[in-house]
Structure 1
Amino acid sequence: MVTAGSGAVVVVGGYGAVGHATAEMLAEWFPGRVLVAGRDPARAARAADAIGRGTTWRQVDVTSAADRARLSADAALVVMAVERANVAVAQEAVRRGVHYVDVTASPQLLRPLTDLDQLAVRTGSTVALSVGVAPGLTNLLADECLRELPAADTVELTLMLGTGDPHGRDSVRWIVEQAATASVGTAGAGVGGGTDVGRPRRTRVDLPGVGRRAVFPFPFSDQHVLTARHGVRATTRMCLDSRVLTWTLFAGRSSGLFRLARRLRLDDVLVSALVWARVGADRFVVRASASRSSGPAVTRAVAGRGTSQVTGAVAAVVARQVLTGGTGTPARVSAGVRHIDQVTGLADLVAELSRHGVMLE
């Protein structure tokens, strides 16, 4: 296995909005070791040149077994900033004792990635999941609420995305793909799916600095992790800073418009329109609330600017913590599959993200 002090720090998708932010921050801490990897050599080369600090690049197709093996052969850590062959990339990395960080928000990837735990323990690899804004900051906020109210049986998570933020194409595509899902069930079944215990509904919440907003259930993976680990009924809801776009998005979901667009192969057209439709601001808000069936709720919130930038920065902080122990708590991350709360604490992370205007509300 390549040691923490040597070997490449690979960012797959390092030229996308999230991946570029991750690679740029990692290059500050690990100059000469960061490698931008992806299918497009021209974009990878431009990103590496823009980042500087000895950053290199490599053309890699992660759907190729040979490319995956080559990618992990001289790596100390792999950050997966795209959603493509994630499980196969993780399996190859873990088999070689290489650390792995994934920013995926898809619940369907949780089970196969979590199943790598025993192998990771044997090879000394850490697999870090629930990394980003949602999941990520949402998990940490929920944990803070549950520490203050340990008897809570319900956790409500809310994410408001800024529509003026230059979201990466992959991020927008993920939202469109999830919106094409026929229905969104509760996370009561836990990690990996199962029979829904109920279907969460639209509700209204007070968001700091924004006011009262309508929010809609959305299938982020954080709710499944919280249910499985804490035994609570967790639901994640989302809105956009633009009320008009929020209602358009979820009316399109409930009416089947996004499913129709997929059947007609108009996904790319829809994604392109949303990528360029920057009609709001770049501010995001993340809120968590824990409560019992009776009694007051405990609420925590974080706000910042630039969801993609902050997601990338979270991934970079987690990667550094996994590799070196960083400056936060815990000092070292043990081998196996770990979620963000087992890698860093909320206060430490928010301090690291202050350059992006992230603060507790």
Structure 2
Amino acid sequence: MNTKSKIMIIGGHGKVGQYITRELKDYNLMLVGRNKDKIQHFLKKEKIQAEICSMDVHHIDFTKLDGVGWVIVCVDQENTELVEFCDIHGIDYMDVTANSEYLEKIQQLKLRGTSKILLGIGLAPGLTNLLAEKFVLMHPLADEINIEVILGLGEKHGDAAIQWTLDNFLKSYSHKTLGYIRPFTQKSTIHMEQKSLKTYNFNFVDQHMLNLKYKDRTFTTYLGFDQSIVTDFIYRANKLGLLGSLKYKPIYRMAEAILKKPKLGTDIFMVAVQAGEKIIHAWGHDEGRFTGLIAAEAAKRMATMDLRNGLLGISDVIHVEEVAENKLFGLTLTLTGRHSV
């Protein structure tokens, strides 16, 4: 990327986007969002100079991309018009979202390869992909691989993260070997630090990205929470068909309000990749902060590294050991170990 050209950050004042904006503050930035006043408030508070553009990501004004050399998107999109525009016009693109359907759409596009398209940055996808790829190198004979994600209920997650989670409790999805499946129907367990926590299948995009990359293996991602009673409650509610009530706005809003002001749990997150008794895992605190920091590091590296054009993943810009060695991330990593079933 020509770093003298403009960098457009869509959602650069949000919970994750703020970390990226701070990291790239010395570049020529344009922050895009629906609320111009919120962007101005953030920039003033952080003492960052940037152009402000009021625009909805669902209704892109492509004339605003004149002079833009790189687009970073921190909010969910419904279609691939923006990434296709970037591909046609040689504009680099980085996506910091976890929308499975959207990222899969990008991977299915017939791109020209005139720009760099970086996907899967964060915790899941992101750290989970790095751990999974490391696991494959360490255990090349493993073919049925589980990715376990534990989120802390005590963390104050951003609005977009909460809405994404609630929305995906309602959606069935297609899996490489499980077929078309509802979330929270298949059980697994994460074994870490003498502790076992139940997890259930969930539509994180990391498994789809990995299943596409490794044709001879099957990856399945499972979700659980640091409070087992809540994980069990969600599973039982789903089994009884009660999660379907989230489609009603009053129930949805009530669930949102509860998650925005957590009353129990911690801010811990845990990730494990396991097959049989073999396991590697990592854990840290404040998933939102971690996602922001790793996205900021990926953005900085994308701006400075000589990367090939075309679709890129997080392992093209950073290795899991580098994440663990950087104290800023606060990640504890264990690459060797076995668990007892």
Q: TM-score, length-normalised on structure 2?
A: 0.88
**Separation in 1, partners of 2:164, 2:54:** 23
Structure 1 residue 16 displacement after superposition: 2.0
**Separation in 2, partners of 1:85, 1:324:** 30
**Residue of structure 1 equivalent to 2:70:** 77
**Separation in 2, partners of 1:92, 1:268:** 35
Structure 1 residue 247 displacement after superposition: 2.5
Matched, 1:46 2:41: yes
**Residue of structure 1 equivalent to 2:124:** 134
**Separation in 2, partners of 1:101, 1:336:** 12
- Asked if 1 retains the 8 angstrom alpha-carbon contact of 2:80 and 2:102, the reply is yes
- Asked if 2 retains the 8 angstrom alpha-carbon contact of 1:15 and 1:44, the reply is yes
**Residue of structure 1 equivalent to 2:150:** 160
Q: For 1:7-59, what per-residue CA distance to the aligned partner results, in whole angstroms no more than 9, with x for missing partners?
A: 232221122212222222332xxx14233321111221122223323244321
Matched, 1:248 2:246: no
**Separation in 1, partners of 2:243, 2:9:** 31
- Asked if 2 retains the 8 angstrom alpha-carbon contact of 1:130 and 1:136, the reply is yes
Q: Label 1:48 to 1:255 Cα distance change in 2 as closer, same or farther (>3 A).
A: farther
Structure 2 runs not aligned, ≥5 long: 335-341
Structure 1 residue 306 displacement after superposition: 1.2
- Asked if 2 retains the 8 angstrom alpha-carbon contact of 1:242 and 1:280, the reply is yes
**Separation in 1, partners of 2:308, 2:150:** 33
Aligned with 2:267 (options 267, 282, 307)? 282
Structure 1 runs not aligned, ≥5 long: 326-331
**Residue of structure 2 equivalent to 1:203:** 188
Q: Label 1:359 to 1:36 Cα distance change in 2 as closer, same or farther (>3 A).
A: farther
Structure 1 residue 256 displacement after superposition: 3.1
**Residue of structure 1 equivalent to 2:316:** 342
**Separation in 2, partners of 1:92, 1:16:** 24
Aligned with 1:146 (options 112, 136, 157)? 136
Structure 1 residue 81 displacement after superposition: 0.9
The 5 A counterparts of 1:1-361 are 3-27=1-25, 31-66=26-61, 69-85=62-78, 87-116=80-109, 118-119=111-112, 121=113, 123=114, 125-181=115-171, 183=172, 186-188=175-177, 201-208=186-193, 211-231=195-215, 232-264=217-249, 266-290=251-275, 296-297=277-278, 299-325=279-305, 332-352=306-326, 354-361=327-334
Q: Label 1:279 to 1:22 Cα distance change in 2 as closer, same or farther (>3 A).
A: farther
**Separation in 1, partners of 2:15, 2:145:** 30
Q: For 1:218-266, what per-residue CA distance to the aligned partner results, in whole angstroms no more than 9, with x for missing partners?
A: 1101111111211211110111112232223333433333322214564
Structure 1 residue 90 displacement after superposition: 1.5
**Separation in 1, partners of 2:301, 2:238:** 38
- Asked if 2 retains the 8 angstrom alpha-carbon contact of 1:202 and 1:217, the reply is yes
Q: Label 1:74 to 1:188 Cα distance change in 2 as closer, same or farther (>3 A).
A: farther
Q: Label 1:201 to 1:118 Cα distance change in 2 as closer, same or farther (>3 A).
A: same
- Asked if 2 retains the 8 angstrom alpha-carbon contact of 1:36 and 1:47, the reply is no
**Separation in 2, partners of 1:152, 1:200:** 24
**Residue of structure 2 equivalent to 1:328:** none
Identity of aligned residues (%): 23
**Separation in 1, partners of 2:13, 2:143:** 41
- Asked if 2 retains the 8 angstrom alpha-carbon contact of 1:44 and 1:59, the reply is no
Structure 1 residue 132 displacement after superposition: 0.6
Q: For 1:290-315, what per-residue CA distance to the aligned partner results, in whole angstroms no more than 9, with x for missing partners?
A: 45xxxx52x21121111111112222
User: Which moves more between the two structures, 161-170 or 35-44?
Assistant: 35-44
Q: Which has the higher helix share?
A: 1
**Separation in 2, partners of 1:137, 1:20:** 20
Aligned residues: 331
Q: For 1:190-242, what per-residue CA distance to the aligned partner results, in whole angstroms no more than 9, with x for missing partners?
A: xxxx767xx9721222124x711111111101111111211211110111112
